[in-house]
Amino acid sequence: MDYKAAGVDIDAGNETVRRIKALARGTFTPGVLSDIGSFGGLFRLGDSFQDPVLVSSADGVGTKLKIAFMTGRHDTIGADLVNHCVNDIIVQGAEPLFFLDYLATGRLSPDVAEQVLTGIAGACKKNGCALLGGETAEMPGFYADGEYDLAGFIVGAVEKTKIVDGRMIVPGDVLIGFPSSGLHTNGYSLARRIFFELAQWKPDKLVRELGVTLGDALLATHRSYLPVVRPLLERQYVRGIAHITGGGITENLPRVLPEGCAAEIDRRAWSLPPIFRLLQQHGRISDEEMFRTFNMGIGLIVAGAPRDAERIIDAVSLAGEPNAMRIGFVVSGDRTVRYV
């Protein structure tokens, strides 16, 4: 017996690391002091902060991975992971510094791993975030053949005086929504049940209302909002930011509201994207459940003073987001969301 006979191919692992090195080096920033393959990643914070606070987050992409397995497409899932993590720290005002990934599978395929890591490295580069290291684990008998799990860990930094935590939000503030690119990385367990079991659609079905195949629609990449949020942070226009992930607007917006504040959302302020209408129609889902499960076409919400509302919309339009819109107001209440 040897390790390979037990299911672990060290040569495949070495080949995967060899491919990853080239991808990761393309993301390195001046703060990186180590190379891929070190026991730990070294990063120098530098002198760009006077009183830096580190901001970190860890996440995965959930059962969206199942769509990648069904379609055989693994080039977008890595970008989903990075962008989700980036959004989770920019809501507190942080600039992303470096990223670590964890890829685990039953039998390691260097080709699949390279596709996944190409997506991760590409998104890291776009976000100015170094892919500092990670772990690729081969675990025979733990995962179904052809499947894997994926998780990421991000670290960013923000000047202590510029932390965005929502404490300055007051009743009367305006809520501005930024469009999502689809389901992002949440609600896929329900979406798969509806589309593949109830409707009995296949991933390659061309859906007229979507204009693309179902697989392509479900694999639409989770947006990074860093390019459009950065100018708002620089101008200090925002009082709070919510990333609309699992739990939808209903559960995520209250996370940034201080005591004595609630949110009133006008559902007529934006047009519901077709994929959500199809989910609700085929799943016979209540409005309440839809808004508590999916982002419903709004991936990020910014709270700002009424006097800054137009400045926020103008600034993000110049930064590449012309479709930001007022979707509601902060009102007096107990950290809940009311839809009108």
Domain boundary pick from 162, 196, 215: 162
Residues of the chain with pLDDT under 70: 1-8
Query: pLDDT tens, 109-145?
Result: 999 999 999 999 999 999 999 999 999 999 998 999 9
Together in a domain, 157 and 245: no
For residue 5, being part of any structural domain is answered with no
pLDDT score, position 22: 85
Same domain, residue pair 147 and 190: no
| Domain final residue pick, 138, 162, 186 | 162
The number of domains in the chain is 2
- Answer whether residue 168 is part of any domain: no
328 shares a domain with 184: yes
Does 63 share its domain with 93?
yes
For the chain, what is the HEC assignment? CCCCCCCCCHHHHHHHHHHHHHHHHCCCCCCECCCCCCCCCCECCCCCCCCEEEEEEEEECCCHHHHHHHHCCCCCHHHHHHHHHHHHHHCCCCEEEEEEEEEEECCCCHHHHHHHHHHHHHHHHHCCCEEEEEEEEECCCCCCCCCEEEEEEEEEEEEHHHCCCCCCCCCCCEEEEEECCCCCCCCHHHHHHHHHHHCCCCCCCEECCCCEEHHHHHCCCCCCCHHHHHHHHHHCCCCEEEECCCCHHHHHHHHHCCCCEEEEECHHHCCCCHHHHHHHHHHCCCHHHHHHHCCCCEEEEEEECHHHHHHHHHHHHHCCCCCCEEEEEEEECCCCEEEC
What residues make up the domain containing 189?
A: 174-339
Same domain (yes/no): 186, 149 = no
- The domain that holds 253 is classified in CATH as 3.90.650.10
Q: Looking at the domain assignment, is residue 202 inside a domain?
A: yes
Are 182 and 295 found together in one domain?
yes
Predicted confidence (pLDDT) per residue in 226-259, tens digit? 999 999 999 999 999 999 999 999 999 999 999 9
**Together in a domain, 99 and 221:** no
The whole model's pTM is what? 0.94
The pLDDT score that the predictor gives to residue 13 is: 74
- Does residue 114 form part of some domain? yes
Query: In terms of domains, do 215 and 274 share one?
Result: yes
